[in-house]
Structure 1
């Protein structure tokens, strides 16, 4: 017996449903219903949900780097200094992941199912080594900035669960659990500094990401910069 659906159909449907129901609501049974097949039909392509998540993350990566940064006119260029390379790469990664509900969680901890990641990664590392980084520190610099970005996206999507452009967010899109004034009222009397920190952590997330990213880049420059 051969499944009448292919692997790409399953992944495309899963990514679309992800934006509707989130990671917790995304089940193989729900995907099968959307495709109008029985759930066992999906097991021709994916043994379990983790295998599906791995392929979803890989497809998200393929979409991010098509065209690949730094290649050709119109590509998401990685020109300039190595600092600008890291800043541009991480900004692009954040923006792309914010386009998927729970995009940070889906991307975190998954394994790439093909080698599509290798070419853009090599491109970034070549820019760093050309600036004077040895291969090891170049890889560590990117890995550190990458980890910061993924973690920041996960936290950001807790505050604003719905996918979309950060510029299009409205105050009512914020999860009520992250209401800054309410948080400050609860803890401000006993823990004034912790209360005040809420504005930095959960207020202007765009500014917060940029400042944190620049701290990362400055730290790399101070310890291993080329």
Structure 2
């Protein structure tokens, strides 16, 4: 084993090994310190060896994003109407992003670059195969990713003592948390679906020939 090849003979790493290690490292050090060099050290390989599995760091983050998002889906017994299914998927997406350090930032970047698909779209399309489902999925995905991104940034700033006093945690706010604004806004989105679809229907009827 040469100094340039710290990986023992036969101890080859798979793509799953690389993504697993990247997710563990993300949780431990955060996105700013998740480098290919550091990941190589974690796996006992040269950073160049990682490029057998991923073409770039952005592709690696896309694979990590896909791993984070994989459990976000509708299951047997879940609601089968668009409004309640949107809330269910929104909650699951929120939970998954919060489960990993800087999870929302990682996923947001991959979504923006088209390197990963929103599971909210896939889930809603299973119960309502119409363009309306995609609009609802966009609204839920953008809201959940955005609000979680901001929440994780505030938590990080609070840990470093740089958050403004209006958002910083205190013993009082920890003991008596504010009402759940996340759930309220998600419910607001869901309640707006039926009126919005009714408006679309009326507009379509009015534009129809002979109307």
Q: Which residue of the other structure, out of 51, 54, 58, is the alignment partner of 1:50?
A: 58
The within-5 A match list for 1:76-115 is 77-79=77-79, 81-110=81-110, 111-112=114-115
- Aligned partner of residue 160 in structure 1, secondary structure: helix
Runs (5+) with no aligned partner, structure 2: 1-9, 202-211
Rounded to whole Å, the distance in 1 between the matches of 2:23 and 2:152 is 16
- Aligned partner of residue 54 in structure 1, secondary structure: helix
Q: Which residue of the other structure, out of 175, 179, 194, is the alignment partner of 2:165?
A: 179
Rounded to whole Å, the distance in 2 between the matches of 1:123 and 1:91 is 13
8 Å Cα contact 2:121/2:133 also seen in 1 = no
Match of 1:221 in 2: 194
Q: Which residue of the other structure, out of 183, 207, 211, is the alignment partner of 1:210?
A: 183
Quick check: which has more Rg, 1 or 2? 2
Q: Structure 1 residue 29 and structure 2 residue 37: aligned?
A: yes
**TM-superposed deviation, 1:223:** 1.0
Match of 1:154 in 2: 149
8 Å Cα contact 1:97/1:104 also seen in 2 = yes
8 Å Cα contact 1:11/1:55 also seen in 2 = yes
Structure 1 pair 99–178 and aligned structure 2 pair: CA distance change class (3 A)? farther
Match of 2:25 in 1: 17
Structure 1 pair 153–224 and aligned structure 2 pair: CA distance change class (3 A)? same
Aligned-CA RMSD value:
3.1
8 Å Cα contact 2:69/2:96 also seen in 1 = no
| Aligned residue pairs, count | 181
Rounded to whole Å, the distance in 2 between the matches of 1:137 and 1:100 is 31
Structure 1 pair 141–121 and aligned structure 2 pair: CA distance change class (3 A)? closer
Rounded to whole Å, the distance in 1 between the matches of 2:187 and 2:163 is 28
TM-score (norm 2): 0.73
Rounded to whole Å, the distance in 1 between the matches of 2:146 and 2:194 is 21
